[in-house]
């Protein structure tokens, strides 16, 4: 009996649990649907009831003139640079200095003005190079260490990408008198303290050239002067006494004219950081003369910049000109000083 009641009670409990679970599931699902529908309907009703009235107006676009100022830009076809260098050295010794020495003061200056004009197909290049240096040793007079005037002008017209036709005018001379010290007169054997061998326009050179120019890069320039005329001036007649060749000028005249072929090669570039190399080679072949009178000249300036103002400069010249000397001539200088370039 007890078992029968317990079984019936268990069966009723299971039946009621299943029924309650099913009822709960259906009620939740039905209520969720009602709530969602009610919220949506309420939103629709409220949105219609609370809508703000709007009026659509057409947008009209009209053209308007806005004043503005034109930019006044001008192309500058000129490029100009100025380089100024100043070198100074001094040494002093006491009278009883055992190693010996001579008190000395030396001063050297260098001024370069370079200007370019480039407007295709024409170009114009002008360079003025002035150099002068003196030294003064104890018990000796002033002596030159450097002296040069160089003025070059070139006008060119472009023919192709790298070739131009050009015309140039070049002037070269020096500022001051030049002497040969401890000179021995070959005719009398007399030894002179100094002998005058050069001066301003003694010699002086004026060269006109027309030809073709090859310029493959901004730092390299090769001129082929097929038609070149050169005038050599010796205006000081006293020079011939100690300069028998008189720079190729006849003793009865002050000017000599030559027609020749001229080749000029220029290299001007920074070869490494803060190191600049400027080299100029000139070949002069006079027409109607022996090959022995071919002139070669190399000018080189190597400048290494220490800082904005201080630099070390090495300059040198190698020259072979039978009208001035039968042997190769050379000069070299090393200087530490101030070098300023603008801009």
The token duo for 231 is 């005038």
Q: CB neighbours (10 Å) of residue 96?
A: 5
Q: CB neighbours (10 Å) of residue 84?
A: 15
Backbone angles phi, psi at 47, to 5 degrees: -65, -35
Is residue 98 left, alpha or beta, with left meaning phi > 0 and alpha meaning psi from -120 to 50? alpha
Q: What is the pLDDT of residue 91?
A: 81
| pLDDT beyond 50 at 26 | no
The token duo for 206 is 């004026």
User: What pairing do the DSSP bridges indicate for beta strands 255-272 and 220-233?
Assistant: antiparallel
Q: What is the pLDDT of residue 27?
A: 46
- Given a contact cutoff of 8 angstroms between Cβ atoms, the answer to whether 116 and 79 are in contact is yes
* HSE-up of residue 222 (Cα within 13 Å, Cβ side): 6
Name the pLDDT band for 329 (thresholds 50, 70, 90).
Answer: very high
Q: CA end-to-end span of the chain, whole Å?
A: 124
Least confident of 18-32, 41-55, 107-121, 122-136: 18-32
β-pair partners for 228:
209, 260
List pLDDT tens digits, range 148-167: 999 999 999 999 999 999 99
Nearest partner of 124 among 132, 112, 116, judged by Cα: 116
Higher pLDDT, 10 or 257: 257
Helix (H) or strand (E) run with residue 93 in it:
none
| pLDDT beyond 60 at 42 | no
Q: What is the DSSP secondary structure assignment for residue 19, as one 8-state letter?
A: H
How far are the Cα atoms of 45, 50, 57, 60, 230 from residue 54, in angstroms, in the given order? Answer: 19, 12, 10, 19, 96
What does CATH list as the number for 78-342? 2.40.230
Name the pLDDT band for 260 (thresholds 50, 70, 90).
Answer: very high
Name the pLDDT band for 3 (thresholds 50, 70, 90).
Answer: low
In this prediction, residues 116-127 reach a mean pLDDT of 93
| pLDDT beyond 80 at 186 | no
- Given a contact cutoff of 8 angstroms between Cβ atoms, the answer to whether 206 and 177 are in contact is no
Higher pLDDT, 264 or 94: 264
| pLDDT beyond 80 at 234 | yes
List pLDDT tens digits, range 261-317: 999 999 999 999 989 999 999 999 999 888 889 999 999 999 998 888 889 989 899
Q: What is the pLDDT of residue 126?
A: 96
Name the pLDDT band for 7 (thresholds 50, 70, 90).
Answer: low
Give the separation between CA 213 and CA 221, rounded to whole angstroms. Answer: 7
The token duo for 335 is 């200087």
| pLDDT beyond 70 at 325 | yes
Higher pLDDT, 62 or 9: 62
How far are the Cα atoms of 14, 17, 21 from residue 25, in angstroms, in the given order? Answer: 17, 12, 6
Nearest partner of 320 among 286, 282, 268, 288, judged by Cα: 282
| pLDDT beyond 90 at 254 | yes
Q: What is the pLDDT of residue 67?
A: 80
Q: What is the pLDDT of residue 285?
A: 95
Give the separation between CA 234 and CA 49, rounded to whole angstroms. Answer: 115
Q: What percent of the chain has pLDDT over 70?
A: 84
| pLDDT beyond 70 at 23 | no
């Amino acid at each position: 009996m007890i078992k029968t009641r317990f079984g019936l009670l268990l069966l009723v409990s299971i039946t009621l649990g299943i029924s309650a679970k099913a009822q709960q599931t259906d009620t939740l699902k039905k209520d969720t649907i009602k709530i969602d529908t009610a919220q949506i309907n309420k939103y629709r009703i409220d949105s219609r009831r609370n809508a703000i009235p709007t009026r659509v107006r057409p947008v009209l676009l009209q053209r308007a003139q806005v004043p503005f100022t034109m930019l006044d830009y001008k192309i500058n076809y000129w490029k100009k640079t100025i380089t100024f260098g100043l070198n100074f050295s001094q040494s002093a010794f006491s009278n009883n200095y055992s190693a010996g020495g001579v008190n000395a003061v030396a001063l050297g200056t260098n001024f370069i003005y370079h200007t370019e004009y480039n407007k295709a197909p024409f170009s114009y290049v002008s360079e003025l190079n002035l150099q002068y240096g003196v030294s003064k040793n104890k018990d000796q007079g002033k002596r030159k260490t450097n002296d040069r005037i160089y003025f070059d002008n070139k006008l060119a017209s472009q023919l192709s990408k790298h070739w131009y036709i050009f015309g140039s005018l070049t002037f070269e001379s020096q500022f001051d008198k030049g002497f040969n010290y401890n000179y021995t007169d070959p005719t009398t054997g007399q030894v002179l303290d100094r002998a005058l061998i050069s001066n301003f326009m003694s010699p002086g050179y004026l060269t006109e050239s027309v030809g073709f120019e090859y310029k493959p890069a901004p730092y390299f320039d090769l001129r082929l002067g097929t038609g070149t005329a050169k005038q050599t001036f010796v205006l000081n007649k006293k020079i011939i006494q100690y300069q028998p060749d008189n720079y190729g000028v006849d003793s009865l005249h002050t000017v000599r004219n030559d027609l020749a072929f001229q080749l000029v090669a220029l290299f001007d570039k920074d070869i490494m950081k803060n190191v600049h190399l400027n080299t100029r080679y000139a070949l002069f072949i006079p027409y109607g003369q022996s090959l022995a009178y071919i002139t070669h000249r190399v000018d080189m300036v190597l400048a290494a910049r220490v800082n904005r103002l201080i630099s070390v400069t090495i300059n040198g010249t190698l020259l072979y000109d039978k009208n001035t000397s039968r042997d190769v001539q050379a000069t070299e200088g090393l200087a530490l000083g101030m070098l300023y370039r603008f801009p």
